Chains A and B, each alone.
Chain A
Amino acid sequence: MDDILAEFIAETRETLEAVAGELVAWEANPDDRDRLDTIFRFVHTVKGSCGFLDLPRLEKLSHAAEDVLSEVRDGKRAADTRLVSAVLAVIDRIGELAEAIDTGEAVPDGDDLLIAALRVEHPVEPVEIEAQSVPVMRGNIRSIRISLDLLDRMMSGVSDLVLARNELSRRLQDTGVDPSIEGSFERLSACVGDMRDTITRTRMQRIEKLFSSIPRMVRDIAGELGKSVDLQIDGGDVELDREMIEIIRDPLTHIIRNALDHGIESPALREKAGKSATGRLRVSARQSGNQIVIEVGDDGRGIDTERLVAKAVAAGVVTFERADKLSKEAQLALIFEPGLSTAKSVTAISGRGVGMDVVRSNIERIGGVVDLDNAPGKGLAISIRVPLTLTIIPALTVSAAGQSFAIPRSAIQEIVRENSASVSLERVGTAMVARIRDQRIPLISLEAVLGLPEEAEQGVRSLVVLNPTGGANYAISVAALHDHQELVIRPSCPAIMATGVYAGMTLPDTGRPMLLLDPAGIAETSGILAITFDDDTVIEAVREADADERVSMLLFRDLDGAERAVRLAVVERIEEVASAQIRFAAGRLRLSIDGRIIPLVSFDTLAERDSVGVLRLNDGAVELAYAIDEVIDIVALPSEIVRAKADGIVAGVALIDGRQIEILDPYWLFAEATGGGPTSSEKPVCLLSSSEDPWTREVLRPLVEAAGYRVAFAGDLEPADADIVIASDAEPLETELPPGRLLRLRNDIGARDGDPSSVYRYDRAGLMTALQAGRAGGHRP
C-alpha cells in the first residue's frame, strides 16, 4: 500500500507542475478545449486515486473542482479569472496535501472555503495574461521512474570508470605495449566515452521542468500588482543537468519577480511613456557551446543607473567621487552589491531580503556568469550562463613551488606573461599590483596564497587574471602554465574545504591527485576583495577599454616555427598525439582519436617527430584538429587586425606584445574540413541569415554550395552585400532587399499566403531554380 501511495504522490507532484502552466494558458484562451481537457483529466485522475487510496480530503477537493470544470466543459459556466483562481487554489491545496502525506505533516483545514470559492459566480474584469508558448502536453514517451540516488551512483561509477581508463592509458604509455592491446584499449576507451555521454544525458532534464511554473507565477504576481503582462517562453526543450536546474530555480524566480515588480511599469505609466499597456516578458533558454544561456528580458523601465549610484553612495558601498569615475558597466554592476535595491520601497513581491548579490553568488557557485543588458526606459535583459554539467569542468593546470593545481577556466579572464610589453609589476606597500595595459589589478603569487616557499627566480612567471565576482579582477602569479583539460571534479573532505581556497579535487591523467583552486575563495582569504574597493583600481582607462569587446586568443607555435593565434572559444582541448595516429587517407590528413576519425589541418608538413600537439577545434557541429608545435599563452585579441590579402587559413595579422602574429580563420578551417575545399571569392555569395539553426548549417548549406555559391552567415557580411539572401519566413530582416535577391523558406508546405515567392524548405527543385535564377541575374553591378 505504501508503494502505491508513494507512486501517487510522485505522480501528482509531477503532473501538478505541468498542469499549472496549462491552467494559465487556458485562462488566457477559455475556448481552448485541449487545455481544459488536460486539467479536467488531472483532477479526475486525482479524484479516482483518492477514492481508491481512501484520502477523503483530497477526494472532496478534487471532486468539487471536477464538477466546476465539467460545467465549463458543458458550456454552463464561463472560465473567468475568479474561477481560474479558485481552481488554482484548489489545485495548490491538492499539492500541499499530497506533500503532507509524504512528510506526515498536517495541513490546516480550510478546504470548505476553497470549495465555496469555486461555487461563487461573479463576472470580474479579467487580468490580461497570455502565455501563447506554453507547449501542448506531449504524447507519452516510453520511460520508467528511477530513483535519483541510483542515478547519482551510476554517474559516479562512470566517473570512476573514466578515471580508471585514464590511469590505464597512462600505464600503457609508460610500459609501451604491443599494438593489438592498444587497439583493444582504444575500443574500450571509446565505449567508456560513449557511456559517459549517455549517463550524463540521463542526468539531463528539459528546462521545461523549470519553465512550466513560470506562467502561473507571472499570472499571480501580475494580478497582485495590477499589471498586465504578455509572457513568452522559448527553449523549454533545452536540456540541463538536474542538479543545475535546482540551483537555478531560485535565482531565476527572483529575476522574474524583479522584472514584474520593478521592471514592468503599471499600465497607466506605460501608456504615459508611449508603450503598450501590456508589458512584455520573455524567458528563453538556449545552448551555446558548452554553456546554457537563460535570458529574462522585459520591456519595462530598465535600471536607472543614476538612482542606483545615488543609492550605492547613500548606502556607503562606494564614495561619490569613485562612483562618478566608474564606467557605465561598473555602475550597473553595483546592483550586485549586497544591501542594494533600486526599488523605492520594499514590496511583498521582491523585497524579501534576497538581492541580486545572492542571485549572482548562487550562479557563480556553479561556475556561471550573470550579465546585464540595460536600456534605461526601454527594458532590461538579464542573462545567466551556466556550464552544462557540474562534475566535469574545463580547467587550466598551473604550477607553483613544484606542485600542480587546476583553475576553472570559466573564471579566467586572461593570461599574460610577466615580461610581456603590456605588463608591469609595481609594489604598493606590501601588496603587489600588476598594470596590464592601462588597468591596475591586485596581484598575489600562488605560493603566497598557499603559504608555499617562493622559489628563487626560475624562468618567467605567468599572470592569470581571474574574475571571480564580476567586477573585481585580480591576478595570481604562477610559476608555469601547463595545459587545458576537462577534469572530473570530486568534493574534497571538510578539512580541505575549510581552508577556503579549494573547490574540489581531481585525478588527472598523470595519476597524481590535484586540487582545484577556488578563485572566489582565494580572493576572500587573501583579502583581495577588500583591497579592490579601497584601492583606486577602477581608473579612467577602463572606460575606454570597455568599448572593445575582449576576445581571448590562444597563442601557439606552429609546425613551421611561426607564432600564430586562434580564438580560444573554438578550441575545445589541447592534446598531444602520436604521429602514428595521423595518416593521409581518403584525400586528406586525418587524425584517429577517441575511436573516431577527424580531419586534421596542418600548416606545414609533419616533420619527423614521434608526437605532435593538436588543437581540437569544434564549432558545435564539426570537429577538426590543427597540428601545432606547442602552446605559448593565452592573450587578448587586439582591437585592430589587418586583414589578409586573400581568403585562406590566415584571416589576418595583429600586433601582440609588439610581434606580428597571424590569426587563423576558424571559418576557413571548418569550411575546409567539411570538404568544401578552400572557397573561392569568385563565386557569388549567398547569405544564410539564420546561422544559429543547425538545419541551415547542416542541411541547407551543402545544397547552396552545390549550386555554386559561397556561403556566408549572418554577421559575416551585410545582407546588401550578398548576391542572394536566404531567410526563414519567420525571421524579420532589417534591410529591404529587391525581389530576386531574397529567398524566403517556409516551414509549412501549404502556407503560401505570407509571401507568394517563398519556397517550402524541402522543395529541392524550387530551391535550386531560385538559386540558379539568382546566379544568372542577381550579380551585383
Chain B
Amino acid sequence: MNDLYLIAHIAGQRVALATEAIDSVVHVTHTTSVPLAPPHLMGLAALRSRVITMIDTRIALGLDPAEPRATLTTVVVNLDGHQYGLVVDMVEDVCAIAGVPAPVRSRLGAGWARASLGLLDHDGASLLLIDPAMLAAGNLALAA
C-alpha cells in the first residue's frame, strides 16, 4: 500500500495527515471570532468565496494555545460537508509512504492518543498519523 500523506508540524511534533480529506494548504491572515464556541475553535476565515472554520490544533490536542501570529499556516480539510482549517506550525512536504500505520506502543498524552491513528515509518523516522476529524471535534471529544 502506497498512500499520499502530508507531513506537517503541530506543537513541534512531526505528524502525517492522509491527503484524501485535504483540500489545500493556505495562509490565513484574518479570522472572525465565534463567541461562545468551544476554545479550540479559533474562528471563521474566508477562503475564496467559502467560509472555513479555523481549528487551533494545539488546544484540540489539550495543549496550551499557540503564540498569536499574523499569518496562520492552515491545512484545509473537508469533513462531513464542512470545511475546517487546521492551524499548524509549518507544512513540510507531501510524500508517498508505504505500509499500514502501526499501533503506538509508547504512552502519548491524552489529546495525542485520541487524535492519532498510529505510527508511520518514513525515511527512518516515525511519524504520528493524525485523524483530522478528531482535531475538528477538539475538546468535545476529549471530554467525552
Whether A160 pairs with B50 at a CB distance below 8 angstroms is yes
Would you call the interface of chain B mostly helix, strand, loop, or mixed?
Answer: mixed
B34 at the interface (CB under 8 A from A): yes
Whether A493 pairs with B36 at a CB distance below 8 angstroms is no
CB contacts (< 8 Å) of B49 on chain A: these are 160-164, 166-167, 507
Whether B46 pairs with A499 at a CB distance below 8 angstroms is no
Whether B51 pairs with A506 at a CB distance below 8 angstroms is yes
B126 at the interface (CB under 8 A from A): no
Whether A513 pairs with B136 at a CB distance below 8 angstroms is no
Taken residue by residue from 27 to 48, chain B's Cβ proximity to chain A (1 for < 8 Å, 0 otherwise) reads as 0001011111110010111101
Residue of A nearest to B54 (CB): A513
CB contacts (< 8 Å) of A161 on chain B: these are 49
A49 to chain B, nearest CB (A): 37
- Given contact pairs A493-B136, A495-B37, A496-B41, A167 touches B48 in the complex (Cβ within 8 A): yes
CB contacts (< 8 Å) of B46 on chain A: these are 167, 507, 511-513
B140 at the interface (CB under 8 A from A): yes
B53 at the interface (CB under 8 A from A): yes
A771 at the interface (CB under 8 A from B): no
Whether B36 pairs with A451 at a CB distance below 8 angstroms is yes
A492 at the interface (CB under 8 A from B): yes
Cα(A490)–Cα(B32), bound, Å: 15
Whether A513 pairs with B48 at a CB distance below 8 angstroms is no
Whether A514 pairs with B37 at a CB distance below 8 angstroms is no
Whether A512 pairs with B36 at a CB distance below 8 angstroms is no
- Given contact pairs A511-B46, A513-B46, A492 touches B53 in the complex (Cβ within 8 A): yes
B: interface residue count bin:
20 to 34
A501 at the interface (CB under 8 A from B): yes
Cα(A439)–Cα(B45), bound, Å: 41
Cα(A163)–Cα(B48), bound, Å: 8
Whether A501 pairs with B51 at a CB distance below 8 angstroms is no
Tell me which of B38, B44, B138, B140 contacts A513 (CB under 8 A).
Answer: B44
Whether A493 pairs with B30 at a CB distance below 8 angstroms is no
Taken residue by residue from 468 to 497, chain A's Cβ proximity to chain B (1 for < 8 Å, 0 otherwise) reads as 000000000000000000000011111110
Cα(A173)–Cα(B140), bound, Å: 42
Cα(A505)–Cα(B41), bound, Å: 15
Cα(A161)–Cα(B50), bound, Å: 10
Whether A505 pairs with B140 at a CB distance below 8 angstroms is no
CB contacts (< 8 Å) of A495 on chain B: these are 37-38, 41, 53, 136-138, 140
A53 at the interface (CB under 8 A from B): no
A515 at the interface (CB under 8 A from B): yes
B82 at the interface (CB under 8 A from A): yes
A288 at the interface (CB under 8 A from B): no
A: interface residue count bin:
20 to 34
Tell me which of A494, A502, A513 contacts B51 (CB under 8 A).
Answer: A513
Whether A512 pairs with B53 at a CB distance below 8 angstroms is no
Cα(A512)–Cα(B46), bound, Å: 6
CB contacts (< 8 Å) of B45 on chain A: these are 513
Residue of B nearest to A500 (CB): B36
CB contacts (< 8 Å) of A166 on chain B: these are 49
- Given contact pairs A512-B46, A513-B46, A496 touches B53 in the complex (Cβ within 8 A): yes
Q: How many A-B residue pairs have CB under 8 A?
A: 69
A403 at the interface (CB under 8 A from B): yes
Cα(A164)–Cα(B46), bound, Å: 11
B53 to chain A, nearest CB (A): 5
CB contacts (< 8 Å) of A505 on chain B: these are 44, 51
Whether B53 pairs with A164 at a CB distance below 8 angstroms is no
CB contacts (< 8 Å) of B35 on chain A: these are 403, 450-452
A540 to chain B, nearest CB (A): 38
Whether B37 pairs with A164 at a CB distance below 8 angstroms is no
Residue of B nearest to A160 (CB): B49
CB contacts (< 8 Å) of A493 on chain B: these are 53, 82, 84, 136
Cα(A770)–Cα(B15), bound, Å: 87
Taken residue by residue from 251 to 295, chain A's Cβ proximity to chain B (1 for < 8 Å, 0 otherwise) reads as 000000000000000000000000000000000000000000000
Tell me which of A164, A491, A501, A514 contacts B36 (CB under 8 A).
Answer: A501
Task: Give residues 39-83 of B contacting A (CB, 8 Å).
Answer: 41, 43-46, 48-51, 53, 80, 82
A613 to chain B, nearest CB (A): 26
Cα(A496)–Cα(B41), bound, Å: 9
CB contacts (< 8 Å) of A507 on chain B: these are 46, 49-51
Cα(A491)–Cα(B44), bound, Å: 13
Taken residue by residue from 6 to 43, chain B's Cβ proximity to chain A (1 for < 8 Å, 0 otherwise) reads as 00000000000000000000000010111111100101
Cα(A499)–Cα(B36), bound, Å: 6
Task: Give residues 84-111 of B contacting A (CB, 8 Å).
Answer: 84
A528 to chain B, nearest CB (A): 16
Task: Give residues 483-542 of A contacting B (CB, 8 Å).
Answer: 490-496, 499, 501-502, 505-507, 511-515
Task: Give residues 145-175 of A contacting B (CB, 8 Å).
Answer: 160-164, 166-167
CB contacts (< 8 Å) of B32 on chain A: these are 403, 512-515
Q: Which of B44, B45, B49 has the most CB of A within 10 A?
A: B49
Task: Give residues 163-196 of A contacting B (CB, 8 Å).
Answer: 163-164, 166-167
Q: Which of B43, B82, B84 has the most CB of A within 10 A?
A: B82
B57 to chain A, nearest CB (A): 14
B115 to chain A, nearest CB (A): 16
CB contacts (< 8 Å) of A514 on chain B: these are 32
B79 to chain A, nearest CB (A): 8
CB contacts (< 8 Å) of A501 on chain B: these are 36
Q: Which of A166, A496, A499, A514 has the most CB of B within 10 A?
A: A496
Residue of A nearest to B49 (CB): A163
CB contacts (< 8 Å) of A502 on chain B: these are 34
Whether A496 pairs with B37 at a CB distance below 8 angstroms is yes
CB contacts (< 8 Å) of B137 on chain A: these are 495
Whether B44 pairs with A164 at a CB distance below 8 angstroms is no
B11 to chain A, nearest CB (A): 21
Cα(A167)–Cα(B34), bound, Å: 22
Cα(A493)–Cα(B33), bound, Å: 14
A134 to chain B, nearest CB (A): 40
22 contacts between A and B (CB under 8 A): A160-B48, A160-B49, A160-B50, A162-B49, A163-B50, A167-B46, A167-B49, A450-B36, A451-B35, A491-B82, A493-B53, A493-B82, A494-B80, A495-B137, A495-B138, A499-B37, A502-B34, A505-B44, A505-B51, A507-B46, A512-B46, A514-B32
Q: Which 6 A-B pairs have the closest CB atoms?
A: A163-B49, A450-B35, A513-B44, A164-B49, A499-B36, A493-B82
Interface residues of A (CB under 8 A from B): 160-164, 166-167, 403, 450-452, 490-496, 499, 501-502, 505-507, 511-515
Interface residues of B (CB under 8 A from A): 30, 32-38, 41, 43-46, 48-51, 53, 80, 82, 84, 136-138, 140
Excluding A167-B46, A494-B80, 12 further A-B contacts by CB distance (< 8 Å) are A162-B49, A166-B49, A451-B35, A452-B35, A492-B53, A495-B38, A495-B41, A496-B34, A499-B37, A502-B34, A507-B51, A515-B44
